[in-house]
């Protein structure tokens, strides 16, 4: 777009045509590829990782440019903790897991995202962390649909 | 101790002689072996992992029996988030790291503890997580003392 076109538009329209600018949050394409959406909490988009080896949720705060937890302000961090607890209870209820693993790593995908993973004693990576342990094994479509529905219900989104 | 001896003691003394009971918190011996104490925040003991490969703090909520973050009550979880942010800023200030990795895993040591790890692009495990990636490389005593002092200062404990 030329500078002329830019100047010719009203401010609101200019904002509309920059959906990928740093002030507008959108889900990182790698997360969109790896996971299925389960709805939005007050701060975070809830996703379900498409890896049938471990029941695995992601919370992605819809805050443009956030990479670290400390990039959120104090109220957002408090809300994130509330949502981590909500997701943890939901995943534990749905799976009856032995342990929860919760982490903000982001060495590969910089957009702030929090992993909430249900672990079972003796699962494919146990007792090691899941990241990079086993190649993702995709759910079949119906399985994924059912798991997303169960998570949505347990987390209070349906 | 016989039941008779137990009954013969006043209640307060009975409590005194059960320092390892579930109602009294003490640091898990594995964490005590792997890390050096740096002081206590309102909720958590602050530790520095004795692994010179990565600058690495632990926060251990002094809440007996807590295994998962959701074993803490709401006020404790809010305080934990405050302390995670405090530790994160401290470690970033001390190290100038490229990325923070924050995690509650606990598959091996069940006592709730939160890892706050300073990562550099190109460090020994990059971009993988640090857990189980490289055998711990102990600091020499003076190095550890200096790093603990820097952490204590940055986190507001000295």
pLDDT per residue rounded down to tens, chain B (158 residues)? 333 433 334 444 444 444 444 589 999 999 999 999 999 999 999 999 999 999 999 999 999 999 999 999 999 999 999 999 999 999 999 999 999 999 999 999 999 999 999 999 999 999 999 999 999 999 999 999 999 999 999 999 98
| Secondary structure letter of residue B11 according to DSSP | H
Q: What percent of chain A has pLDDT over 90?
A: 85
For residue B12, what pLDDT is reported? 44
Which of A24-53 are b and which e, b meaning 16 or more Cβ less than 10 Å from the residue's Cβ? ebebbeebeebbbbbeebebbbbbbbbbeb
The pLDDT score that the predictor gives to residue A23 is 82
For residue B106, which of A58, A53, A121 has the smallest C-alpha distance?
Answer: A121
Q: Kindly list the residues from chain B whose CB atom is less than 8 angstroms away from the CB atom of residue A54.
A: none
User: pTM of the prediction?
Assistant: 0.87
Q: Which pLDDT belongs to residue B23?
A: 82
Q: Which two tokens stand for residue B53?
A: 């490969």
Question: Which residues from chain B sit within 8 angstroms of residue A129, using beta carbons?
Answer: 103, 105, 107, 129, 131-132
Q: In the block, which residue shows the tokens 């050096």?
A: B36
pLDDT at A154: 98
Question: From the centroid of its chain, how far is CA A72?
Answer: 15
User: B70 and A78 in contact by Cβ < 8 A?
Assistant: no
ipTM of predicted complex = 0.86
Residues of A in contact with B84 (CB under 8 A): 69
Chain B CB within 8 Å of residue A5 CB: no
Nearest Cα neighbor of B66 from B26, B111, B29, B21 is B111
Mean pLDDT score, A5-32: 62
User: Is there a contact between B102 and A69 if contact means CB atoms under 8 Å apart?
Assistant: yes
CB nearest A101 (choices: B105, B126, B128)? B105
Q: Are A85 and B69 spatial neighbours (Cβ–Cβ below 8 Å)?
A: yes
Name the residue with tokens 């002081």: B39
pLDDT classification of A5: cutoffs 50, 70, 90? very low
φ, ψ (nearest 5 deg) of residue A156: 90, 25
**More reliable by pLDDT, A4 or B123:** B123
pLDDT tens per residue across span A40-79: 999 999 999 999 999 999 999 999 999 999 999 999 999 9
8 Å CB contact between A77 and B85: yes
Q: Is the pLDDT of residue A8 over 80?
A: no
Residues 47-106 of A with CB under 8 A from B: 67-70, 74, 77-78, 80-82, 84-85, 88-89, 92, 99-106
Q: Please name which of B41, B78, B73 lies closest in space to residue B60, comparing C-alpha atoms.
A: B41
* A100 contacts in chain B (CB < 8 Å): 68-70, 104
Residue tagged 């909490």 (tokens): A41
- Which residues, in sequence order, are bridge partners of residue A40? A45
Any CB–CB contact under 8 A between B124 and chain A? Answer: no
Specify the pLDDT at position B68. Answer: 98
Question: In the prediction, which pLDDT does B22 show?
Answer: 57
| Mean pLDDT on A68-95 | 98
Q: How far apart are the first and last CA of chain B?
A: 42
Q: What's the first-to-final CA gap in chain A, in angstroms?
A: 42
In degrees to the nearest 10, what's the CA dihedral of B45, B46, B47, B52?
A: 170
Question: Is residue B94 within 8 Å of residue A113, measured between CB atoms?
Answer: no
For residue A17, the model assigns a pLDDT of 44
């Amino acid at each position: 777009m030329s500078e002329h076109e830019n100047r010719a538009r009203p401010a609101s329209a200019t904002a509309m045509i920059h959906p990928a600018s740093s002030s507008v949050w959108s889900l990182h394409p790698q997360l969109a590829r790896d996971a299925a959406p389960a709805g939005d909490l007050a701060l975070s988009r809830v996703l379900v990782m498409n890896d049938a080896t471990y029941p695995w949720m992601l919370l992605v705060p819809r805050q443009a440019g956030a990479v670290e937890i400390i990039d959120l302000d104090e109220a957002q961090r408090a809300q994130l903790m509330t949502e981590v607890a909500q997701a943890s209870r939901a995943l534990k209820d749905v799976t009856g897991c032995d342990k929860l693993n919760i982490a903000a790593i982001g060495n590969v995908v910089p957009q702030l995202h929090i992993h909430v993973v249900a672990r079972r004693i003796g699962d494919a990576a146990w007792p090691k962390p899941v990241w990079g342990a086993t190649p993702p094994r995709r759910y079949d479509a119906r399985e994924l649909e059912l798991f997303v529905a169960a998570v949505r219900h347990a987390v209070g989104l349906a």
